[in-house]
């Protein structure tokens, strides 16, 4: 029992929500695209009409060593290295047995990245979470092995991810700069943010939920425990609303989309189980929604054309991307 | 003198073209965006009208070990590794001192990529090529050192890259499956492809030049020497046409955009010098244009909305991406 | 039946050898050091007497992009990259917001390696091979998961690997430059090489078996299919001899120590099962034995002090090293 | 002037010491081995007599994510990943289109490391430090470019590094557990530690200087600012002593061997300039000297056989290793 006389949510709550909203089999036994199946051409053409001012706005956090990762869960910030560079040219090093041979005129530079695919602005694939030895659509978890995801890889989303985008700026709707850690966003606050923005969330929408967590990290000049620590985010009370609206994807400006600490003491990231494993809903994390939110606040328009496919990393369970809102 | 009585092009030809089309200073002494400065909001809104059928088409080649790289010039195919996976869960390994602690319900999977940023479908940044110790807009090449590109990094393109896209399907315009290696595409063939497609190339367009080189690799079941070997591509005779049309970017389905062997015996990749170093033109390489070309052939429409920003890798000289044509 | 009337060896042969020579439990139920338990202080002091001329000889192949790996089985050659370098200094790049700050005098260089731990001269750990869901000493294979080897990691060998080394130069004993691929070395040829070298193989010895495969690759100027292709190596008929002599470790100058194609059509690398999984014998591969063999042929001494521990990579199943013979 | 009336040391002090002890040209204009040239066979054979008890003692810190690095100067702790593992086998994942094909019996595990070569127990190569645009023996710093060290790479030490080792346990000689940060070890304290150990440091010795910094990190349960922060270490007053004894190499249990803060306000790591650039002296860092120190304290013997070559990483400026003292 929690303080208000309600039973504390637990794994049973999660299982009940999962059963209620499961999409296993909905798009056939071989489906690996989940809620992206909802996006039909008419959604894309309708969304095109939202390009009014001709302004693209990126929602990507730069990928670099200054990112939020701490090494926990094996996730570190991107490591960028040069393979050949301009200093080699200036120093005269490149003439000595280097790439490009003895050509005096052309010199190239090249570089390399080492990065966890979920270290920055990212889509989770439908193979990112395992529950009860299963991944989305009932595939056994053994399909995701050291070789990568032979089922539900992120490539299944690489051909699409275009349509109507909607920003739900929750802190602005509540008159705050940001939500506090532990703030569980429910259906009412999502609806309030939609109302504030003058938008109705609809089928096949790409929904971006701003919590202000990134705003706060900026204000404080440090990521603190942004990666994996306490955070505002979607709570269990948001699940029915999200499922009811039949959205294509949900992304947030936090490490893990969900409120932390989790409302379920016995389950880590319970919405990941409901959303990813059972609904096949695509989740985006570490989206930088501040520039978009500023723009929306200025022009009062909270809907836009969205284009943000993952990169087709074969057998990957996540992918960095540069998601674009175009208004 | 070449066989036809024409002087063989050489570094002087390249320098003359560079002088003729240099954009150094055009957008100010601090500019690092080059031809992306051409894209204005009206271009984007006009392009939105090209979304008619609501069909997104990816131009990305999957990023994996089956890519075209051979290790030459330090470029290898992406290396994908799992940090934790579903097999760990099935095997019971994850309960032993693993990520996620003693929670019995939630299990996540995570992965990692090691890749040269120019190993697959990619934008070259304006810091990718050095000529005469300088990069675009006159910055010294020492700005691109082991630390990365402090000037002209790929992040300068990450906020935009949306607008009108045009496919120039040269082999189809010439009635062929693909162009042969060594085929230098000039202004006439580019125009012929535009005419075939019923499009006029205009200011701020994103131009995609299909040579069929990837089609051929697919037909032959091997990349062969796709990466760095002889190839069809833009020739010196295309430069004035490209410059005249004031396009935002040019991308092709080859390793290096230009015809190989290069027409200039004394200069490797001469157009890279003219386009990148002097014009500040964004070049895309290893774009898979076949699905788009098939679609354009079917509906006869060779223009579309384009959204394909690089990822904001800080101080990088190139970036993989998933470029989308939306028709 | 094989051509000579002998039954073709198969999994049953492997299982019989495994049963015959299993060391499971021999050094206790918690043992993870296997045959290294055989090495006692008196072996090390006795071996010290073999340092007569004061000449150290490395058995390591350089670790670089010119190594034998092809990418098969996920093994590629080491990728070496600079983090900061001397060209940065010469070019003046390092004064701009670089490591080391504004000190004019000190400049450092730094580098980085990306490598499969078994891509070059290496020890296999006792967790490198799984048979029937088990690793050495009966531990379940789930102890080697994405997190690495929680049992039988290569660190178990990092404190030792010193003692008497013996070179068995099989091709020289047979009067050849190298053995041909498919040549299965048996007990008789091992003994013949020992006799040729005037050495008796004894308990706790580190035994180095030269096949000449690396000599051949050098002579031919290419690795060919050295990595994983047909090769000379230990055959089934060597197992009893190796086991009988109670050696500490066996290493060879081939990719996989064993003859290829394997003698057992239904089992890949059968000796790896007998040696690693059941005997707990440490195996070394891709050792460059040519400089040592040349030296031994010159002075006629085929025994030496050996020092070649793996590096203590935590939870690793293999380790590169620089093994030293000191004569 | 410093408080005690002595002039504060500065770049001139460093240059004077460098001139006094420079070995440029001593072993020829092409030399890249520096002080390793001092080690002759008679040193190695004499050292063999120090193997009395037959006990090998590793001086390597395990290479893993728990290492001392913080990411500063681009140095992070080793990242270990599995390519294939035992959990795949247990889960049945490996039968699906995996390495090893359809063989039911053999299963292998493989792994990979990503690590700065100077992130743990390591030798600095003679190309690791640049002063006045030069590296050891007068080579221009441009020889160390993005391609790596074409001169003075760590491979030049890979064939040797065997001989007499001597432990100078300074804190024990001073009756302390460890030296405090900022403690500059001079000739007197080095000699006192030698006297305490009953050893005379001689030509071609490998000298290990214990400061107790690692002991302290262990006692405090945290690395703190071990990597790059204030630390005990060799001071300017040790240089003449080190040079006088003509040692082959010096290693310590700290991040950077030298006292920090450095005694020269205008020069970072001044001894690195004198030792590496001018003397060509091999320096080892992050050596774990505690097990060795414990053993020496127990048996009162502070000399031993040393075997600790770097791995032959081609064109590298540093190398991890597993250095062994054998007593």
CB contact (8 A) between residue C312 and residue D322: yes
Q: What is the pLDDT of residue C103?
A: 63
Radius of gyration of chain A (CA): 21
Looking at the complex, does the CB of residue A1 fall below 8 Å from at least one CB of chain C?
Answer: no
CB atoms near residue B124 (< 10 Å): 30
Angle between helices B290-299 and B213-220 (to 10 degrees): 110
How many C-alpha atoms does D76 have within 13 Å on its Cβ side?
24
DSSP string, A158-212: TT--EEEEEEEEHHHHTT-SSPPTT-EE-HHHHHHHHHHHT----TT-EEEEE-S
Looking at the complex, does the CB of residue A97 fall below 8 Å from at least one CB of chain C?
Answer: no
What's the rounded Cα separation, in Å, for the pair C260 and C184? 8
What Cα–Cα distance (Å) separates residue A123 from each residue in A126, A127, A293, D177, D319? Answer: 9, 11, 20, 51, 37
Instruction: Identify the bridge partners of residue C56 per DSSP, sorted by sequence position.
Output: C326
- pLDDT band with cut points at 50, 70 and 90 for residue B104: confident
| Average pLDDT for B52-78 | 95
- At residue B94, the 3 state secondary structure works out as helix
Asked if residue B145 lies in contact with residue A81, where contact means CB atoms within 8 angstroms, the answer is no
What's the rounded Cα separation, in Å, for the pair B187 and C48? 77
What's the rounded Cα separation, in Å, for the pair D307 and D325? 7
Chains with 3+ CB–CB pairs under 8 A to D are A, B, C
> What is the complex's ipTM, to 2 decimals?
0.96
Looking at the complex, does the CB of residue D311 fall below 8 Å from at least one CB of chain C?
Answer: yes
What's the rounded Cα separation, in Å, for the pair D166 and D207? 5
- At residue B155, the 3 state secondary structure works out as helix
Looking at the complex, does the CB of residue D159 fall below 8 Å from at least one CB of chain C?
Answer: yes
What's the rounded Cα separation, in Å, for the pair D193 and D231? 19
Structure tokens at C22: 């299993």
What Cα–Cα distance (Å) separates residue C204 from each residue in C162, C195, C308, D49, D325? Answer: 10, 19, 14, 21, 19
Instruction: Identify the bridge partners of residue D122 per DSSP, sorted by sequence position.
Output: D285, D320
pLDDT in tens, B241-266: 999 999 999 999 999 999 999 999 99
Q: What is the pLDDT of residue B160?
A: 84
- pLDDT band with cut points at 50, 70 and 90 for residue B130: very high
- At residue A316, the 3 state secondary structure works out as coil
C-alpha dihedral (A208, A211, A213, A214), degrees to nearest 10: 40
What's the rounded Cα separation, in Å, for the pair B235 and B257? 9
CB contact (8 A) between residue C81 and residue A82: yes
Which residue is associated with the tokens 């100058």? C253
CB contact (8 A) between residue A162 and residue B85: no
Instruction: Identify the bridge partners of residue C297 per DSSP, sorted by sequence position.
Output: none
Which chain C residues are within 8 Å of D321, Cβ to Cβ?
A: 311, 322
How does strand A122-124 pair with strand A282-285?
Answer: antiparallel
Which chain B residues are within 8 Å of C84, Cβ to Cβ?
A: 146-147
Looking at the complex, does the CB of residue C85 fall below 8 Å from at least one CB of chain A?
Answer: yes
Q: How many residues does chain B have?
A: 327
What's the rounded Cα separation, in Å, for the pair D147 and D316? 9
Looking at the complex, does the CB of residue B143 fall below 8 Å from at least one CB of chain C?
Answer: yes
Give the angle C224-C227-C228 at the CA atoms, nearest 5°: 110
Q: What is the pLDDT of residue B5?
A: 56
Nearest CA in chain D to C92: D133
What is the pLDDT tens value at each position of chain C, 327 positions in all? 444 557 899 999 999 999 999 999 999 999 999 999 999 999 999 999 999 999 999 999 999 999 999 988 889 999 999 999 999 999 988 765 455 545 678 889 999 999 999 999 999 999 999 999 999 999 999 999 999 999 999 999 999 899 999 999 999 999 999 999 999 999 999 999 999 999 999 999 999 999 999 999 999 999 999 999 999 999 999 999 999 999 999 999 999 999 999 999 999 999 999 999 999 999 999 999 999 999 999 999 999 999 999 999 999 999 999 999 999
Give D108's contacts (C-beta < 8 A, 6+ positions apart). C73, C128, C129, C130, C269, C272, D84, D99, D100
Q: What is the pLDDT of residue B100?
A: 53
pLDDT in tens, A161-185: 999 999 999 999 999 999 999 999 9
CB contact (8 A) between residue C98 and residue B143: no
Identify the CA nearest to C82 among candidates B285, D125, B34, B150.
Answer: D125
How many C-alpha atoms does B260 have within 13 Å on its Cβ side?
16
Three-state secondary structure along chain C?
A: CCCCCCCCCCHHHHHHHHHHHCCCCCCCCCCCCHHHHHCCHHHHHHHHCCCCCCCEEECCCCECCCCCCCCHHHCCCCEEEEEECHHHHHHCHHHCCCCCCCCCCCEECEEEEEEECCCCCEEECCCCEEECCECHHHCEHHHEECCEECCCCHHHHCCCCEEEEEEEEHHHHCCCCCCCCCCEECHHHHHHHHHHHCCCCCCCCEEEEECCHHHHHHHHCCCCCCCCCCECEECHHHHHHHHHCCCCEEEECCCCCECECCCCCCCCCHHHHHHHHHHCCEEEECCCCHHHHHHHHHHCCCEEEEECCCCCECCCCEEECCCEEEC
pLDDT in tens, C224-234: 999 999 999 99
Identify the CA nearest to C91 among candidates D145, A90, B134.
Answer: A90
| Average pLDDT for B25-35 | 98
CB contact (8 A) between residue B93 and residue C142: yes
Q: What is the pLDDT of residue C68?
A: 97
CB contact (8 A) between residue C86 and residue D51: no
Looking at the complex, does the CB of residue D48 fall below 8 Å from at least one CB of chain B?
Answer: no
Residue D169 parent element (H or E):
strand D162-169
In sequence order, which ranges of D25-147 are alpha helices (DSSP H)?
41-48, 86-91
| pLDDT exceeds cutoff 60 at B220 | yes
Instruction: Label residue D4 exposed, middle or buried (CB < 10 Å: 0-12, 13-18, 19+).
Output: exposed
What's the rounded Cα separation, in Å, for the pair A52 and B49? 10
| pLDDT exceeds cutoff 50 at B97 | no
Sign of CA dihedral D133, D135, D140, D142: negative
- At residue B157, the 3 state secondary structure works out as helix
Residue segments in chain A with a per-residue pLDDT below the cut of 70: 1-6, 95-103
Which of A72, A76, A91, A130 is best to mutate for the C interface (most C CBs within 10 A)? A91
pLDDT in tens, D43-94: 999 999 999 999 999 999 999 999 999 988 889 999 999 999 999 999 988 7
Q: Is the peptide bond before B55 cis (omega within 30 degrees of 0)?
A: no
CB atoms near residue D101 (< 10 Å): 9
Residue A239 parent element (H or E):
helix A239-244
User: What phi and psi, each to the nearest 5 degrees, are found at residue D177?
Assistant: -75, -40
What distance in Å separates residue C168's CA from the closest CA in chain B? 36
Residue segments in chain D with a per-residue pLDDT below the cut of 50: 1-3, 97, 101
How does strand C206-210 pair with strand C249-252?
Answer: parallel
Note the Cα B244 to chain centre separation in Å. Answer: 20
| pLDDT exceeds cutoff 50 at B1 | no
Looking at the complex, does the CB of residue B97 fall below 8 Å from at least one CB of chain D?
Answer: no
Q: What is the pLDDT of residue D97?
A: 46
Looking at the complex, does the CB of residue B113 fall below 8 Å from at least one CB of chain D?
Answer: no
Q: How many residues does chain D have?
A: 327
What's the rounded Cα separation, in Å, for the pair B211 and C175? 57
- At residue D122, the 3 state secondary structure works out as strand
Residue B114 parent element (H or E):
strand B110-116
What's the rounded Cα separation, in Å, for the pair D78 and D64? 5
Looking at the complex, does the CB of residue D141 fall below 8 Å from at least one CB of chain A?
Answer: yes
Residue B79 parent element (H or E):
strand B79-84
Between C83, C98, C142, which is nearest B91 by CB? C142
Q: What is the pLDDT of residue D5?
A: 57
Asked if residue A86 lies in contact with residue B135, where contact means CB atoms within 8 angstroms, the answer is yes
Give A94's contacts (C-beta < 8 A, 6+ positions apart). A84, A88, A100, A107, D145
């Amino acid at each position: 029992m929690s303080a208000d006389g309600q039973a504390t949510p637990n794994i049973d709550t999660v299982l009940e929500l999962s059963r209620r909203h499961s999409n296993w089999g909905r798009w056939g036994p071989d489906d690996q695209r989940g809620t992206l199946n909802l996006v039909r051409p008419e959604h894309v053409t309708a969304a095109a009409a939202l390009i009014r001012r001709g302004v693209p706005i990126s929602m990507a956090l730069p990928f670099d060593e200054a990112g939020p990762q701490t090494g926990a869960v094996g996730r570190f910030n991107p490591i960028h290295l040069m393979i050949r560079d301009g200093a080699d040219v200036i120093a005269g090093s490149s003439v000595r047995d280097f790439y490009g041979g003895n050509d005096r005129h052309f010199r190239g530079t090249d570089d390399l990245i080492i990065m966890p695919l979920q270290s920055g602005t990212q889509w989770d694939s439908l193979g990112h979470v395992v529950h009860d030895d299963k991944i989305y659509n009932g595939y056994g978890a053994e399909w995701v092995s050291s070789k990568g995801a032979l089922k539900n890889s992120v490539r299944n989303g690489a051909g699409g991810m275009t349509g109507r985008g909607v920003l739900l700026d929750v802190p602005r709707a509540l008159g705050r700069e940001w939500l506090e850690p532990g703030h569980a966003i429910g259906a009412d606050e999502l609806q309030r943010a939609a109302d504030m923005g003058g938008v109705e969330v609809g089928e096949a929408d790409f929904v971006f939920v701003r919590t202000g967590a990134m705003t706060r990290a900026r204000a404080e000049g440090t990521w603190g425990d942004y990666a994996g620590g306490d955070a505002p985010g979607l709570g269990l009370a948001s699940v029915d609303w999200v499922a009811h609206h039949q959205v294509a994807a949900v992304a947030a400006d936090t490490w893990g989309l969900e409120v932390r600490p989790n409302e379920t003491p016995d389950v880590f990231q319970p919405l990941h189980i409901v959303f990813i494993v059972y609904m096949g809903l695509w989740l985006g994390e570490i989206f930088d929604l501040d520039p978009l939110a500023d723009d929306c606040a200025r022009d009062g328009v909270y809907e836009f054309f969205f284009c943000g496919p993952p990169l087709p990393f074969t057998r990957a369970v996540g992918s960095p991307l540069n998601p674009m809102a175009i208004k």
